[in-house]
Amino acid sequence: MHPGDTPRFEAKHSFFIGIDSDGTAFDSMEIKQKSVFLPVAVQLWNLHAVQKPFYEIAEFINLYSVHRGVNRFQALAMALERLARHPDVIAQRVDLPDYFALKTFVLSGRALSAGSLADYNKALGSPFLSQVVEWSKRSDERYAQVTRDEGNPPYPLVREALSRAAENADIMIVSSSSHEALIQDWGDTHLLPFITLVAGQEMGNKAAQLKFALQGASRRERTLMIGDALGDLDAARANNVMFYPIIPGREKQSWELFLNEALHRFFQLTYAGDYEQRLLGEFMTVLRPDEVWLTA
């Protein structure tokens, strides 16, 4: 899908499920960070002297904090901002990229995609933003190569859960990943036949993607968002729909519960209320508050 393209969505069922990709359907969060985004950034901006604190900060933000699953451009801006305050960086007087232009972009309300960033930078001509676009492009290329070489299977029971869910619900991928990466991951694992619509960062943030699919329809008790991060929960709340958590570290158990119990409750209209709140309570205890790395 190219920037500006608007996919079509026509509901076939009265039930709707939005599902995140990385960390929810696929065990790809650590692969993307440790083998793709971070090494590409270190190479592009010559961060070798501060690689250890950069990895610690970026991995915490993307994998273990309340920001888990955040868009790549937001995560990069956050990591560079925190890196600039790290004692080792200050002591070594390391020259870091000026992340302010990227921070301004992620707060601009524009779609957080490489194409959107490139368009945004046409008037600015920022060399750093051009490098960020290149970082995103190289990361996608490297991820494609890594998954071709090593594979990227979904979590256990994802296929069975999607197959059963698709019998009565339209299913949409709601993700901050690029459309190209989503097509690769879901296509290579033969999961696309269960999917009604593939969204991605080109369609805006996750809340905007859900809003597009719902098209103003008010059917909270028939709409469920599945995700592993607070950003997924926020997208659900922004659209006043229900949420099912895939709990980090307990992914297999989460999918087993979804397949054997939660999905049935969803279709029987008994998911909302105490049952959902109990699951949310378990989910909220897992992710750590921001800035823990400063004192850890």
What is the structure's pLDDT at 3? Answer: 43
In a domain, residue 292? The reply is no
Q: Which of 150, 167, 189 is the last residue of a domain?
A: 150
Residues 236, 125 share a domain: no
Which domain does 279 fall in, by range? 15-27+154-284
46 with 78, same domain?
yes
Question: pLDDT, tens digit, for every residue of 101-158?
Answer: 999 999 998 988 999 999 999 999 999 999 999 999 999 999 989 988 888 889 999 9
What Cα–Cα distance (Å) separates residue 55 from each residue in 33, 42, 66, 91, 121?
A: 9, 9, 17, 18, 27
pLDDT at 161: 98
Give the pLDDT confidence score for residue 287 in this predicted structure: 76
Task: Read off the CATH number of the domain in which 167 is found.
Answer: 3.40.50.1000
Beta strand residue intervals within 43-196, DSSP E: 169-173
The whole-angstrom separation of Cα 88 and Cα 86 is 6
pTM: 0.80
Same domain, 114 and 134: yes
Looking at the structure of the chain, the number of domains it has is 2
Given a cut of 50, the residues of the chain with pLDDT beneath it are 1-4, 292-296
pLDDT of residue 201: 83
Q: Identify whether the C-beta of residue 65 lies closer than 8 Å to the C-beta of residue 288.
A: yes
Q: Taken in order 106, 63, 153, 12, is the CA torsion positive or negative?
A: negative
Q: 125 and 210, same structural domain?
A: no
